[in-house]
Amino acid sequence: MDIKAIDAAYVAGTYARFPLTLVSGKGSLVTSDEGKEYIDLGSGIGVTAFGIADEAWTEAVSLQLGRLQHTSNLYYTEPCALLAKRLCERTGMKKVFFGNSGAEANECAIKVARQYGIEKKGEEYTTLITLKNSFHGRTITTLAATGQDVFHAKFQPLTPGFVHGVANDLDSIKSLVKGNKVCGVMIECVQGEGGVIALDGDFVRGVAQLCQENDLVFIVDEVQTGNGRTGALYAYMNYGVCPDVVTTAKGLGGGLPIGACLMGDRVEKVLGFGDHGSTYGGNPVCAAGALSVIERLDDALLQEVKEKSQYVFDALRGAKGVEAVSGLGLMIGIKTEKNAKELVAKCMEKGVLCLTAKDKIRLLPALNIPFALLKKAIDVIKEVCAE
């Protein structure tokens, strides 16, 4: 069977796939249909937080799968309730809404901010400020939130009510607050798709304070940065701020689709009966997987993420063919002298899977990638960059 040809014939042509069919894996190693093994530094775009077929995760998921795979939100289930409880306990947030993806988590956050603005200030207060070069999802509304024109061009008219400020320029945010009827501000602490760029601490704290002073909903999109990725449970914790809303997905489910919108004190009561919903939201199998992920993101694991991060930064900074290294924790961007896409193809030939973001190589390895594998893979990247 020629899987690539069947896929190309029948799957919507929205993806530029690598010429590689994966069939199995274990931890940070994945195997192709040709039996070739690769070190995985992409983890399904930051999703398989503990790698492939991780034992504890697989056990948690299988147990729930054999018990009860779905109920709808007309009934209570234990995994959904316990996951919400643990997320709140570990963040100080008060309520959680579950969906199936990052975009849906952000849709919920946008609803919360608009409803808050309308209730507190009046029905015109529905505008959200997001940042240029941000990425918040692919639905028509989260595309509108995404501050990159390339994503907008083909899908006009997008949802109105979004204005885009400049990252690390607090005055640009302040003037947007003055000039619009604003209900909230949404940022990624590390812009992922935008090129793995960590925002300045002063800027993030400035935005948090501005939101406090103007009674705006401060939303942090942790879809990519969340769940241990940056060496903190959530990236905002590195910045000493306290958001009103935190959205997350990707790594949360460890490989099953789940998104969450966490709501703090100020907004916990904004959504009431009938205001929002999702058929699959909080699905017990996904929630069981997520619960096992969250329980394992302890101080020791987060410390390990920081150490691995330090290793990668030290190994690549100043290496031949490398112009700069950016990011936080195990969310790393490598600006290379040569074309990043071509280098990623070369890495693949040499048995290492990497991602790109804008003009950079992007790494999002599993948080528990063994040091030896990480070193081996980084050596390959160095070799390829130096050629």
Ligand X SMILES: *Cc1c(COP(=O)(O)O)cnc(C)c1O
Q: Contacting ligand X (CB under 6 A), which of 27, 51, 54, 136?
A: 136
Which residue, 189 or 319, is less far from ligand X as judged by CB? Answer: 189
Closer of 243 and 322 to ligand X (Cβ): 243
Alpha carbon dihedral 62, 64, 66, 68, in 10-degree steps, equals -150
Which residue pairs from 237-243 have beta carbons closer than 8 angstroms and sit at least 24 positions apart in sequence?
A: 238/189, 238/328, 239/189, 239/199, 239/201, 239/204, 239/205, 240/201, 240/205, 241/204, 241/205, 241/208, 242/92, 242/208, 243/208, 243/218, 243/219
Under the binding rule (CB under 6 A), the answer on residue 223 touching ligand X is yes
Residue with tokens 């769940």: 227
Interface with ligand X in residues 154-183 (CB under 6 A): none
Does residue 248 touch ligand X according to CB under 6 A? no
44 vs 206, which CB is nearer to ligand X?
A: 44
According to DSSP, the β-strands at 352-353 and 37-40 are parallel
- Does 246 bind ligand X (CB under 6 A)? Our answer is no
State the nearest-atom distance from the C-beta of 1 to ligand X, in Å.
Answer: 28
Question: Apex CA 168: angle with CA 166 and CA 173, to 5°?
Answer: 50
Q: Residue 188 or residue 304: which is nearer to ligand X going by CB? A: 188
Closest CA to 34 of 3, 8, 6: 3
Minimum separation from the CB atom of position 367 to ligand X (A): 16
For 119, the token pair is: 């209730």
Bond from prior residue into 370 cis (ω within 30 degrees of 0): no
Residue 360 amino acid letter: K
Tell me the one-letter amino acid at 343. Answer: L
- Taking CB under 6 A as the criterion, the residue among 221, 258, 267, 284 binding ligand X is 221
**Taking CB under 6 A as the rule, does residue 188 contact ligand X?**
yes
Residue 192 Cβ vs ligand X, minimum distance, rounded to whole Å:
4
Nearest residue to ligand X on Cβ basis: 102
Q: Would you list the DSSP string of 301-317?
A: HHHHHHHHHHHHHHHHT
Q: How many residues at the interface with ligand X, by CB under 6 A? A: 15
Question: Least distance in Å: CB of 135 to ligand X?
Answer: 5
Which position among 147, 192, 255, 327 is part of the footprint of ligand X (CB under 6 A)? 192
Which positions from 317 through 376 interact with ligand X, judged by CB under 6 A?
none
DSSP 3-state of 148 = coil
Question: Among residues 50, 57, 97, 135, which is the contact residue for ligand X, using CB under 6 A?
Answer: 135
Task: Identify residues 68-107 at the interface with ligand X (CB under 6 A).
Answer: 101-103, 106
Q: Is residue 249 at the binding interface for ligand X, with CB under 6 A as the rule? A: yes
Amino acid at 33: D
Residues lying near ligand X in the complex (CB under 6 A): 101-103, 106, 135-137, 188, 192-193, 221, 223-224, 249-250
